[in-house]
Amino acid sequence: MVAMREPKVFPVFLFLFLSMASGAQHPSLMLSHKNLPEVIKGVDQYPLLKKSFLQVKMLADAALKNPINVPVPMDGGGGFTHEQHKKNYQYILASGMAYQITKETKYAEFVRAILLNYASQYETWPLHPKQKQSNPAGKIFWQNLNDCVWQVYVIQGYDLVYNYLNVADRNTIEKHLLVPVVKFLMEDNKETFDRIHNHGTWDVAAVGMTGYVLNKKDWVEKALKGSKIDGTTGFLEQINQLFSPDGYYTEGPYYQRYALLPFLLFSKAINQYQPGLKIYEYSNGVLKKAIHTALQLTYINGVFFPINDALKDKTFESEELVYGVDLAYADISADADLLNIAEKQDRVIISDAGLKVAKDVAAGKSKPFVYKSLWITDGNKGDEGGLGIVRSGENTDQQCILLKASAQGMGHGHFDRLNFLYYDNGVEVFSDYGSARFLNIETKTGGEYLPENKTWAKQTIAHNTVVVDQVSHFKGELTKAQAHHPQLIHFSPTKDLQVVSATDKYAYTGVDLTRTIVLANFKELEKPLIIDVFKVRSDKEHQYDLPFWYQGHITHTPFQIQSNTKKLEPLGIDFGYQHIWLNASGNSKTGNASVTILQNKRFYTTTFLADTSTLVEFVTLGANDPNFNLRNEKAFILSRQKAKDHLFISLTESHGNTNPTAETTIGFKGKVQSLKLITDTDEVSSFHFVVENKTYTITINYNNKQTFISIK
């Protein structure tokens, strides 16, 4: 999937742009005048569209039940006026849709009345009194960003009731609301409007979509090509710059999902009003890739890989991906496996696109979503590292590995170069903490990121990667981390032997980190074996810690362990170590050791190199947490106390199961034995192990692309 981007097609766009149709009919955004009769019929015919419309109608009916409330803006996020204005834009869109589908004028009348109410007040509102230091203020909300979102919803609602309004109402609403809003977003907030950043995308989407509906060509032009109309900023350049050639958004999957929405909405508007621009093909079709990549960044349970700042329960059922899947299927490429996702989302957008999806789902065209093993590049040019994803098995029971070798990901990035996640059997096995945040729960630091997001979640020890001398990568400093990125060494998704290998030379001065993860079939084992080889090279002596944050319960630790049964103390003093209780630690005298975990009724045994110089530490998160902000996750840490070069080798088996209903348990012991290092040089790492009396020798040739790995 490594692909260089084609040259920009800017000149063509410039030409086509002039041909923008004027005075288009309404509605013309997600729902188009032309397709409306079909959509109305479809609401009766296709279960998915029907169910989705009933949800929208329920919201519209809720809007009509209470008196219109347009309060003078006062409260910050989560507060009353904030939530009311948020509700209002959702009401406006839902009522607009309900009007077009049912033709009941009460819905249009609501939209008319509330927009006139806004129009009567908006110009009198100053900048929001609760503005944040970190972000430009809005007028309706504390952040300009929220005002942009408000406008993106409202302009759709306006388009939906446009034909219902008389000319006088239209004039009032446009003159005293929509035009002033655009002025605020495009002129007063020119800096944001011209930013190549997610906030800028919301801004240009709001202005551009309004430009189309109000037939203001200059707004559209500026939204597409920046306030100077020179293409150095604006939507097209955002498309060029904000995604990698593979459609990856550098902040990570959680924010990729969020960042997608304004791209999708504005692109759809462009495609409606100026189909000749072929916006979906722009920049080598990166928007389509971004939708598909977002889906590939989920596990089979639909949850996004929670790398960087991420809420862990976010799935592809979220609204952004409903738009993404519907538009991708209807307007870009009707891939039958997208319907599988739409079925799981259990809703569609009330739109031309939603109609097509619901119709084809009803016709039984859906096919299982095709999860792939992929190397997904990061960086605008695709040369700033990336994510290695390796999968094996069906969508009902899949082993999945993620090697994180992407760039820092800006302010929401975590310091976790070469982090490794492992999923199996529908759940996490080796996991990422995600962000420390209880979204919108005011009693938890106002629902914002908790202090522990910085002191814990971003720190290296919170991740499954090597920490040197108990200090985080780049000492936890963003600007240094942002300046460098890991590099892919090898990616090969051959069936039965999948490999991804990457290196980082910047996280620590004087220490090179190289991690190679292999998913390989062995006939003696039930499931493919995970071979994790983490090479550390340095001229000086250091302490190297490699944690495995696991889900589940330990069932076997066949080596000597000293347990802190009567007193717990933190493992360290900073870089996240201050949050970890040390429960127990042990050494192996045999050269290797193993830990077995029971998770979701299946066993996982990790066998690793360990002699007396490697301490195995068992830890629980939760120290220095006076406000009960942290989840009490657990890890075992392989800690090499003093070494220059070191090689961590860990082999993880997925085996056996326990069935509580039948009260049976099989295969509770792993089969890998006698793991032993043969050689470790700059060019080669080699080791062997025994499975059911058969000895396997693994050799990794870091510089040999042809035979990067051999198993004999």
Q: Which of 669, 684, 696, 701 binds a copy of itself (CB under 8 A)?
A: 669
Taking the C-alpha atoms of residue 312 and residue 618, their distance in angstroms, rounded to an integer, is 24
Q: Does residue 568 interact with a copy of itself by CB under 8 A?
A: yes
Q: Which of 442, 469, 524, 692 binds a copy of itself (CB under 8 A)?
A: 442
Distance CA 438, CA 426 (A): 24
Indicate whether 51 belongs to the interface with a copy of itself (CB under 8 A). Answer: no
Return the number of the residue (22 or 443) whose C-beta is nearest a copy of itself: 443
Distance, CA of 661 to CA of 431 (rounded, Å)? 27
Q: How far is the CB of 192 from a copy of itself (least distance, A)?
A: 22
- Choose between 450 and 517: whose C-beta lies nearer to a copy of itself: 450
- In the complex, the smallest distance separating the C-beta of residue 654 from a copy of itself, rounded to whole angstroms, is 16
* Residues contacting 133, CB < 8 A, separation 6+: none
Name beta bridge partners: 502: 488, 515
Distance CA 579, CA 103 (A): 58
Rounded least distance, CB 345 to a copy of itself, Å? 10
Name which of residues 611 to 640 contact a copy of itself (CB under 8 A). 618, 620, 622-628, 631-632, 634
Q: Of 322, 224, 243, which is closest to residue 289 (Cα–Cα)? A: 243
State the minimum distance, in angstroms, from the CB of residue 81 to a copy of itself: 16
Residue 566 binding a copy of itself, by CB under 8 A: yes
Minimum distance between the CB of residue 284 and a copy of itself, rounded to whole angstroms?
31
The full length of the chain comes to 712
Q: Give the interface segment with a copy of itself, choosing from 151-159, 201-209, 386-394, 581-589 (CB under 8 A).
A: 581-589
Integer Cα distance of 155 and 179 in angstroms: 11
Catalytic-residue membership of 542: no
478 near a copy of itself, rule: CB under 8 A = no
Q: How far is the CB of 348 from a copy of itself (least distance, A)?
A: 15
User: 162, 109 in Cβ contact below 8 A?
Assistant: no
Are residues 366 and 335 in contact, defined by beta-carbon separation less than 8 angstroms? no
State yes or no: residue 67 binds a copy of itself (CB under 8 A).
no
586 sits near a copy of itself (criterion: CB under 8 A): no
Given a contact cutoff of 8 angstroms between Cβ atoms, the answer to whether 463 and 416 are in contact is yes
CA–CA distance, 77 with 143 (Å, rounded to integer):
9
CA 253 vs. chain centroid, Å, equals: 1
d(CA 525, CA 604): 12
Tokens 């990568």 belong to which residue? 473
Considering the rule CB under 8 A, would residue 658 count as an interface residue with a copy of itself?
Answer: yes
The answer to whether 404 and 417 are in contact (CB under 8 A) is yes
Q: Considering the rule CB under 8 A, would residue 557 count as an interface residue with a copy of itself? A: yes
Q: Judged by CB under 8 A, does residue 561 bind a copy of itself?
A: yes
Window 72 to 91, contacts with a copy of itself (CB under 8 A): 78
Burial of 500 (0-12, 13-18, 19+ CB in 10 A): buried
- What is the rounded distance in angstroms from the CA atom of residue 363 to the CA atom of residue 615? 59
Site string for a copy of itself, 304-343 (x = CB under 8 A): -------x-xxx-xxx------------------------
Q: Is 363 in the site for a copy of itself (CB under 8 A)?
A: no
* 621: DSSP letter: E
| Per-residue binding letters, 496-535, with a copy of itself (x by CB under 8 A) | ----------------------------------------
Alpha carbons 487 and 480: distance in angstroms, whole number: 16
Single out the residue of 45, 555, 587, 686 in contact with a copy of itself (rule: CB under 8 A).
555
- Distance, in Å, from the CA atom of 606 to the CA atom of 595, rounded to the nearest integer, reads 5
Q: Per CB under 8 A, does 567 bind a copy of itself?
A: yes
Non-local CB neighbours of 572 within 8 Å, separated by 6+ positions: 470, 578, 580
Residue from the set 51, 190, 197, 556 that interacts with a copy of itself by CB under 8 A? 556
- φ and ψ of 10, to 5 deg: -60, -45
Minimum CB–partner distance for residue 626 and a copy of itself (Å): 4
Among 41, 175, 372, 553, binds a copy of itself (CB under 8 A): 553
- CB nearer to a copy of itself: give 150 or 708: 150
- Are 641 and 613 within 8 A, CB to CB? yes
Interface with a copy of itself, residue 23, by CB under 8 A: no
| Binding flag, residue 591, a copy of itself (CB under 8 A) | no
**Cα angle value 404/408/413 (rounded, 5°):** 90
Rule CB under 8 A: choose which of 44, 124, 662, 693 binds a copy of itself.
662
- Catalytic residue selected from 85, 199, 292, 412: 412
Residue 485 designated active-site: no
CB of 444 to a copy of itself, least distance (A): 6
- Binding of a copy of itself at residue 448 (CB under 8 A)? no
Return all residues near 8 (Cβ < 8 A) that are at least 6 apart. Answer: 240, 283
Determine the size of the site formed for a copy of itself (CB under 8 A): 55
Name the residue among 215, 322, 233, 235 with its Cα closest to residue 282: 235
Q: CB under 8 A: which stretch of 233-241, 326-334, 420-428, 553-561 binds a copy of itself? A: 553-561
Q: Is residue 660 involved in binding a copy of itself (CB under 8 A)?
A: yes
The b/e string for 418-446 (b: 16+ C-beta within 10 A; e otherwise) is bbbbbbbbebbbbbbbbbbbbeeeeebbe
Q: How far is CA 150 from CA 24, 88, 89, in A?
A: 23, 9, 6
Catalytic residue among 91, 158, 254, 255: 255
Q: Identify the residue among 668, 684, 686, 690 touching a copy of itself (CB under 8 A).
A: 668
Q: In this chain, which of 25, 120, 232, 440 binds a copy of itself, going by CB under 8 A?
A: 440
Residues acting as catalytic residues: 255, 412
Residue ranges binding a copy of itself (CB under 8 A): 78, 311, 313-315, 317-319, 438-444, 447, 553-557, 561, 563, 565-570, 581, 583-584, 596, 598, 618, 620, 622-628, 631-632, 634, 658, 660-665, 668-669
